[in-house]
Structure 1
Amino acid sequence: MLKPGSWAWQWRDAETQEVIAALGIIGGATQMILTPTTSDLSMNERIDITRTPCKLGGSRAWFKCPKCSGRVAKLHLRGGRFACRICQRLTYASQSEDLIARLWRQQAKIEAKLGRHWQRPKHMHQTTFERLRRRLWDLEAAREEAFALAVRRMGWLL
């Protein structure tokens, strides 16, 4: 898409098929013009593109943040402007998780590696399986402990 040309995308309401947003892109090798359109927004923004050489030849394209001029892979549209995640003050969902939510997320990652009902998947080493299973038990114990601490902090008796 970083070649000369133009593209357009539309987002439609699933039920009514009405266009709720559109994005037009006029691209080139060194810059692109983004034209987002919604019911309350219509604008044009020029985004510069920079390149860095790759070790095995060729180059990697980066967007230049219109706000801080930093080199970024993604730009986010917020408040009517495109900018990098830091300039838009966006955070990852995991940055606002409490201890119990983090423990649940870690458990879900391990459960995804294991089969249904914590069964050892085919071709997984037994030692790896045992390590993951021990980690699951540790996570459950840590989650129960964190929950008990939270209950005590709230003044509830357990």
Structure 2
Amino acid sequence: MNPPPFEGKRGGRLTTDDYLFIDVNHFKREGLLTDAGWFSWQWVRRGKLVDAINVTVKENGIIIDGQSIYIEWSSCPLGGIRPWFHCSSCNKRCCKLYKANTSFACKTCLNLVFKVWHLRPKKRALRRADKIFRKVSFDFSRKGDKPKWQRWPTFERLEAEGEKALNVISGEEEKLLDKLRKLNPLKQAGRTC
């Protein structure tokens, strides 16, 4: 299936950000799946309308432009029910379906990856470390002190993951410094003499 004309990855696999998608949990939160009827859905990027669809709600699914998408409801362990789309291509259940030309399919069927897969190891490690430090509410003035609400095993696990990410970052920086040293050996030799 062809990527949408407005974006796309030129080298490597396409990402989920390159496609428009529908999310069954968002539809449920908005209350769009409760009563039989129809609604219209629009995608807007940078203030411009990219695409719009009309969705007809049936008792066991939805219909978008003639394509029928089955919705399965499963019970949650602590009560309540959760909706799932069934991909028309592979019949697996998923939360998001991506628009490919005129039909909708899951991430696996379209052979998509997440945007983070295209990042270099250093950028991935920085992203991971930032996410961990935000989760821990890490305050550098209170080193080694965990947040009041967090359990010790969780804090220690997150601290170890953060250290691992920082080790990857410093390793990548060392590789970069080695490359710079190899490119410029004469200037370094001139400084030492």
TM-score, normalized by the shorter chain, greater than 0.5 = yes
RCO comparison, higher one (Cα < 8 Å, 6+): 2
Give runs of aligned pairs for residues 9-88 of structure 1, distance below 5 A: 9-11=41-43, 19-35=49-65, 44-52=66-74, 60-88=82-110
- Identify the residue that residue 105 of structure 1 maps to in structure 2: 127
- Identify the residue that residue 137 of structure 2 maps to in structure 1: 114
1:140 to 157, 166, 186: 166
**If the length of structure 1 is used for normalisation, what is the TM-score?**
0.66
Q: Deviations over 1:109-129 (max 9, x none)?
A: 13213256565676267x78x
1:4 to 20, 36, 48: 36
Structure 2 distance, partners of 1:71, 1:102, is 29
Greater helix share, 1 or 2?
2
Greater strand share, 1 or 2?
1
Distance 1:118 1:68, change over 3 A: farther
- Identify the residue that residue 112 of structure 2 maps to in structure 1: 90
Distance 1:118 1:29, change over 3 A: farther
Q: CA deviation at 1:134?
A: 7.1
Q: CA deviation at 1:98?
A: 2.4
**If the length of structure 2 is used for normalisation, what is the TM-score?**
0.57
Aligned CA-pair RMSD:
3.8
Structure 1 residue ranges without an equivalent (≥5) = 36-43
Are the aligned partners of 1:12 and 1:19 in contact in 2 as well (CA < 8 Å)? yes
Q: Deviations over 1:1-59 (max 9, x none)?
A: 333111113345766xx644222111012121124xxxxxxxx3221223445567775
Q: Aligned with 2:107: secondary structure?
A: coil
Q: Deviations over 1:68-94 (max 9, x none)?
A: 122222211123320011011111123
The percent of aligned pairs where both chains have the same amino acid is: 21
